[in-house]
Chains A and B, each alone.
Chain A
Amino acid sequence: MIHIKWQAFVIFLILFLFVAGLGFWAANWRKGDLSLLDEWGLGGRRFGTWVTWFLLGGDLYTAYTFIAVPALVYGVGAFGFFAVPYTIVLYPIMYIVMPRLWRVCRANSFVTPSDFVKARFDSRSMSLAVAVTGILATMPYIALQLVGIQAVLVAMGVASSGALKDLPLFIAFAILAAYTYTSGLRAPALTAVVKDVLVYLTVIVAIIAIPIKLGGFGHIFSVSQVALAAKGGSVNLPPKLYGAFATLALGSAFALLLYPHVVTGTLGAKSARTIERNSALLPLYSVALALLAILGFMAIAAGIKTSVSSEVVPLLLLKTLPQWFVGIAFAAIGIGALVPAAIMSIAASNLFSRNIYKEFFNHDATTQQEAKVAKFVSLIVKLGALLFVVVIPLKYSIYLQTLGGIWILQTGPAIIGGLWTRWLHKKALLIGWTVGMAWGTYMAYTLKFASSTYGLKIFGRTELGYAAVWAVIANIIVVIVLSAIFNAMKLSNGVDRTSPSDYLPEANPESALKTS
């Protein structure tokens, strides 16, 4: 029969309800007119350094990350640690790319990356491609956040069996949907603070208490080496995986910055300088992530045996920590799912409302109508994600998320390339995107969607690498070659609706204040 771990569950419930209350209250925080898309969908672009830090932290380091990274380490060892170089090189790229994107979006009141692509390249089709890619890549990501909540509910014995097994998940998601609807981006910004306090608390306790209990890191790693070697993994990275490890880290870093929810989180900042400051401060989260990754080895050493990867971390915590503290840790994971799920659904809704609804169905939509549509779509998006998790087997969500990473990187040439040059031809960008999407999907297909590292035969040898990176290299080559040809043919490249000064720091009000 169902055995509920009451101590953990009660603490989980209290923290969860507190955060839900906070989410609703957020509508009143730094009050703005929430019937405008800029206010609902970007928090009025007023978030300072601290709020942005928490918001992006909640956005980048999600519940799924906290569950999946240690689980991968548990399964294969060192290779799973690619998440660490990934979240290291992320920040130099963020520092260079995102403030520039923020400036041009602010100067032209863009809400989404699609808005930017449309104005920069005068191309509705490329803008639509960016919007559709963004929505497709985000949906499975939201679904996987739900898997995070589901994993801790199952571990507490609340959602294990019977006809009502998905009920707690439905309730959690209904609450999330309701407060996202009423408060917009303010809700995840505020709840992210609670999430982070809980996450850091959990990480610090886990990284000190569990190794003491298991006999120290030296012992944990030597036990892990033996256990991993038996199933083909290793505590040290084998040379045949060097290429895959490095391309996965680099490709994931670029891909992450192109995800709509990350763009939304960044555009909510009050200045470009806020984003630069955050690029220097956010690596602190990577420390937490690295320590969490090591939980995968601790799970091996603690003798956790499971074939369900999302259960690795919950089972380890239950086995090694007092139950009341596990309640706190599980709340960190549960709330860690709510924060990014809210931002993701807002970002996907912004894209739909601005770049599909207004662009193709109601060209004269007012910003109030845009906001109304976005709010409504945010509910649909979450319902879709929920059905996904409940109706379709889990592995398909993971496959789709793998595909999502490959797909979203294909918008890089238009978005990141477009920030620096307009030499790229809009038709070349569209063809390059098509090539990248098609080949990327094909590679994933040949891997049966189970892995994203593809062995590319090149110069007589096979190079293992992240499929998204191979696909985007092809994409970039096509874009450059065709741009050269189209420009030489003097094929019309439309009108750039942004101006060169939109991209420069001098246009940034905060720096203008400081120099005066």
Chain B
Amino acid sequence: MAGKVRQVYYLLFLIPFIGTLIPPFYAKVTPSLFGLPYFYWYLILWIFITGIIGGIVYFLSEAKR
């Protein structure tokens, strides 16, 4: 049963794939941030989001263990 609960959290992991593997969503120059075109800071932002999602899955699976 613990295994099933974990598999539900794993669905959260789909989010980074959708966010980063569909370039038409973000292949733009503006708006820029600190001089970085959108394309670059958008992808860098997703590094942090993915880390946070990893952390959420980790702690949720801890709680339900």
- A residues adjacent to B (C-beta < 8 A): 78, 81, 84-85, 87-89, 91-92, 95-96, 211, 216-221, 235-239, 241-242, 245-246, 249-250, 276-277, 279-281, 283-284, 286-287, 290, 294, 504-506, 511, 514-515
Q: Which residue from chain A places its CB closest to the CB of B51 in the assembled complex?
A: A283
**Cα distance A95–B14 when bound, in Å?**
12
Query: Is B24 engaged at the interface, CB distance under 8 Å to the other chain?
Result: yes
Starting from the known contacts A85-B46, A504-B3, A515-B65, 12 additional A-B residue pairs (CB-CB under 8 Å) come to A84-B20, A89-B17, A89-B21, A92-B17, A92-B54, A242-B27, A250-B17, A279-B58, A280-B54, A280-B58, A286-B47, A294-B40
A287 touches B27 (CB 8 A): no
B65: chain A residues at CB < 8 Å are 505, 511, 514-515
Q: Is the CB of A239 within 8 A of B24?
A: yes
Q: Is the CB of A237 within 8 A of B27?
A: yes
A284 touches B51 (CB 8 A): yes
Mark out the residues of chain B between 18 and 65 whose CB falls within 8 Å of any chain A CB in the assembled complex: 20-24, 27-29, 32, 34-37, 39-40, 43-44, 46-48, 50-51, 53-55, 57-58, 61, 65
Is there contact, CB below 8 Å, between B13 and A219?
Answer: no
A283 touches B17 (CB 8 A): no
Known: A84-B43, A85-B20. A92 touches B13 (CB 8 A): yes
A279 touches B29 (CB 8 A): no
Residues of B close to A506: CB separation below 8 A = 2
Pairs A–B under 8 Å by Cβ, sample size 14 = A89-B17, A89-B20, A92-B17, A92-B53, A220-B35, A245-B23, A246-B23, A249-B21, A276-B61, A280-B58, A283-B50, A287-B44, A287-B48, A515-B65
- Interface size of B by Cβ–Cβ distance < 8 Å? 37
Q: Which one of B37, B46, B53, B54 contacts A235 once the chains associate, using CB atoms below 8 Å?
A: B37
Q: Which residues of B contact A286 (CB under 8 A)?
A: 47
Residues of A contacting B32 with CB < 8 Å?
218, 221
Alpha-carbon distance between A286 and B43 when the two chains are bound, in angstroms: 10
* Binding site secondary structure of chain A: helix
Give Cα A241–Cα B2 distance, bound, in whole angstroms.
Answer: 42
CA of A276 to CA of B54, assembled, Å: 8
Give the contacting residue for A88; candidates B14, B20, B28, B39; CB below 8 A: B20
Known A-B contacts A283-B47, A290-B47; the reply to A236 vs B27 at CB < 8 A is yes
Contact across chains for B17 and A276 when beta carbons are under 8 A apart: no
- What A residues does B57 contact at CB under 8 A? 95, 280
Are A95 and B21 in touch, CB under 8 angstroms? Answer: no
Of listed B14, B20, B23, residue having the most chain A CB within 10 A: B23
Complex CA–CA separation, A333 to B47 (angstroms): 23
Chain A residue numbers with a CB within 8 Å of B53 are 92
Q: How far is the CA of A89 from the CA of B43 in the complex (A)?
A: 11
Distance (whole angstroms) from the CB of A37 to the closest CB of chain B: 31
Contacts A235-B29, A276-B58, A284-B51: A221 and B36 contacting too (C-beta < 8 A)?
yes
Q: What's the minimum C-beta distance from B65 to chain A, rounded to whole angstroms?
A: 6
Q: Which residues of B contact A95 (CB under 8 A)?
A: 10, 13, 54, 57
CB pair A281–B51 under 8 Å, yes or no, is yes
Is B35 touching A219 in the complex (CB atoms < 8 A)?
A: yes
Across-interface contacts of B40 in A (CB, < 8 A) = 81, 290, 294
**CB atoms of A96 and B13 under 8 A apart:** yes
Alpha-carbon gap, A294 to B39, bound state (A): 12
The smallest C-beta distance from B30 to any residue of chain A, in angstroms, reads: 10
Residues on A with C-beta less than 8 A from B29 are: 235-236
B28: chain A residues at CB < 8 Å are: 236
Given the known interface contacts A276-B58, A514-B65, the answer about A249 and B20 at a Cβ–Cβ threshold of 8 Å is yes
Q: In the complex, are the beta carbons of A505 and B20 less than 8 A apart?
A: no
Q: Is the CB of A85 within 8 A of B37?
A: no
Contacts of B36 in A (CB 8 A): 217, 221, 294
Question: Contacts A92-B13, A218-B35, A219-B35 given: A239-B54 contact, CB under 8 Å?
Answer: no
Give the CA-CA distance A511 to B51 in the complex, in Å: 22
Q: Is the CB of A84 within 8 A of B47?
A: yes
Residue among A84, A85, A211 facing the most chain B CB atoms (10 A cut-off):
A85
Q: Which of A246, A514, A515 has the most CB of B within 10 A?
A: A246
Question: Are A88 and B43 closer than 8 Å at their CB atoms?
Answer: yes
Selected from B20, B24, B39, B58, the residue in CB contact (under 8 A) with A78 is B39
A83 → B minimal CB distance (Å): 10
Q: Tell me if B34 and A217 are in contact (CB < 8 A).
A: yes
Chain B residues positioned under 8 Å from A78 (CB to CB):
27, 39
Complex Cα spacing A95 to B56, Å: 12
B residues in contact with A504, CB < 8 Å: 3
Contacts A89-B20, A280-B55, A281-B51 hold; do A290 and B13 have CB atoms under 8 A apart? no
Whether A505 and B2, one on each chain, are in contact in the complex, defined by CB atoms closer than 8 angstroms, is yes
A239 and B57 alpha carbons, distance in the complex (Å): 34
Known: A92-B13, A504-B3. A81 touches B23 (CB 8 A): no
**Closest residue of A by beta carbon distance from B52:** A280
**In the bound complex, how far is the Cα of B53 from the Cα of A277, in angstroms?**
12
